[in-house]
Amino acid sequence: MGGGRKNLKRASEEKHVTLQDGQSIMQVVSLRGSNLIEVMDARGEKSLALFPAKFQKSMWIKRGSFVVVDESGKIEALESGSKVACLVCKVLFYEQVRALQKSTEWPEIFKDDLNERTTAQQENEDDTSDDDGLPPLEANTNRMRPFELHGDEDFESNSDTDDYIVGSHSSTKTI
């Protein structure tokens, strides 16, 4: 494991996260691709953030995750015409989020969201249905269906139809 990945792993194992100047906690709204994510800040404003390549293949995020973002150059970036306003510094894991919820650094807007999410998780645990609220799977139309047999009565054996010639270019002579 290289030095960079060791430091990332060590940072992810820390329980207590301290925010520095220009850093804030944001929630991932959507993944845009090409290392771009859309995040929402404590005021409810959405912006694009760059997910650095150093996190690739070592940390993954999904919609609803929390990240620490450096937005110190946000105003300058937006004034220069750049759509990417901030840079992800750290991905917050479950234990870190739990510790931050108890501190004063945790934004109020995310407290309501977490309460709703835990209530929904408790309701889903109580419901024991097999479908899990997902729609039924659709048929895959990209594949050819295999040849299907529809019963034995269609394939009765006749002496007239037992001999078949297979192949489209075979030439046969009858005498």
Q: Three-class SS of residue 49?
A: strand
Classify residue 14: in a domain, yes or no. yes
CATH number, domain at 45? 2.40.50.140
Tokens of 168: 């489209």
Instruction: Classify residue 97 by burial, with Cβ atoms within 10 Å: 0-12, 13-18, 19+.
Output: middle
The mean pLDDT value for 13-21 works out to 81
Domain residue limits at 61: 3-124
Q: What is the mean pLDDT of residues 124-145?
A: 65
Residue 139 falls inside a structural domain: no
Question: Do the domain assignments include residue 58?
Answer: yes
The model's pLDDT over 90-124, given as tens digits with 9 standing for 90+, comes to 899 888 888 888 888 888 888 765 555 544 555 55
Distance CA 36, CA 87 (A): 9
Weakest mean pLDDT among 31-45, 58-72, 141-155, 157-171: 157-171
Cα three-residue angle 13-30-38, rounded to 5 degrees: 85
Mean pLDDT over 41-66 rounds to 88
Ranges 2-6, 107-111, 127-131: which has the least confidence: 127-131
How far, in Å, CA of 56 to CA of 20, rounded? 24
Percent of residues, the chain, with pLDDT higher than 70: 66
Total number of domains constituting the chain: 1
Assess if residue 154 is contained within a domain. Answer: no
